[in-house]
Structure 1
């Protein structure tokens, strides 16, 4: 019984939510972003390329809740690191009512790296001005095996699916948020490649 219980829990909670349509939210996002260069890698995962040489992947992630589920799109950017070592940093907006800055939580790795990134970020007005109004839910920077990985989950570009009452709604990324998102990805790549 003890060996079957974890397998039962894994089967119950690791499966896709009922009503989840893989790839549909990503297709909405592709049209919403307006990026011409898009290559579907698999259902629910695609690679986008901008004219300036920036490439990033987007992956759907379904999150089950009681009588509903969310389909979130996770932007993933990889670039080379100029130094070795591992580190993981999570960013968040500071300020309870109005945003006052970007805060960092370092979860292991090289000591003081979060402070160096914060200082460099504040010295880059374009990147800082893109991140402050950007409506991200999660922003993580990880360095391992000689490369940086940026994972950004925007509040838009997602779908809400409810079972009772039944409805399905795509939450689009506004044109302003789209520009801020792409500017932030370009700026983060430039910043991280120099660290």
Structure 2
């Protein structure tokens, strides 16, 4: 899907961005801040020290470029340096009581404060530079959720296990598009933006 996210004369996310001085600089807020973020980004992590820096830096660039007051919540069960790296970059690190991908999200969602919540893996699978396009669709189309796509209309070799590539993802994608006119190309995409 191609989405117009703004021009030089008309900035993207115009209705989403708070016009305050704090937000115009793309403030990254911490858990103790009295400022409510417009965007909460949740990154579940398990030993992602190789990718978490890149993901957080991308989110920070988006926040700065579009003047979004943002919080980054890393829900972490790592045994490596992932939480240390995330904290050093300004992320809020929370530790779920139970291990697992679903538990990481469940625990992180208890901490989000943003009007919009973006989720995605911190293993460099997703380009967080595309967040403005997803946020714009949620805002402009008054949608509750928008899914990103790793596939851009096609499944690339090695992108996922064969069972997912040839059965799971294509069937679910076709089902959603046929019965709900969802317009998705990657129903199993983990990069999503949700309006709270």
TM-score range, shorter chain: under 0.3
The structure with the largest strand share of the pair is 1
Larger helix share, 1 or 2: 2
TM (normalized to structure 2)?
A: 0.27
What is the TM-score with the length of structure 1 in the denominator? Answer: 0.27
